[in-house]
Amino acid sequence: LDIFGFEDFFEDNYFEQLCINYANEKLQGNFNRHIFEEELALYKEEGMPERMLKQLAVECPDNKLTLRLIKRMVNIMNEGSNRTPMPDLLTCRRTQI
């Protein structure tokens, strides 16, 4: 599952690409959970033998920690954007160096 982004248009990835990738990963996680976890639970509930359930089980990479980190970063940026005036992040960075 992938949604086309800006990968082929720019040498560098920007915030827009991060947002697209974040949405893609959230969608992929929902898809994986529904198809691979919930369906398996339904088969088990319907009495499918354990041997067959093990054969059908699919291990998918888990990006939950990365997604939580990105969400926190977006929340921080959102909080900063609600301040008047918005902090100059470049100035803040230079003064801390």
In single-letter form, the type of residue at position 23 comes to: A
pLDDT at 60: 78
pLDDT of residue 32: 85
* Angle at the Cα of 37 from the Cα atoms of 27 and 20, rounded to 5 degrees: 10
pLDDT recorded at residue 47: 93
Mean pLDDT by 10 residues, the chain (97 residues): 56 76 85 86 91 85 84 82 65 50
Report whether 60 contacts 32 (CB < 8 A): yes
Which residues, including other chains, have CB under 8 Å from residue 61's CB and lie 6 or more apart?
Answer: none
List, as one string, the DSSP characters of 2-64: ----STTT-SS--HHHHHHHHHHHHHHHHHHIIIIIIHHHHHHHTT--HHHHHHH-------H
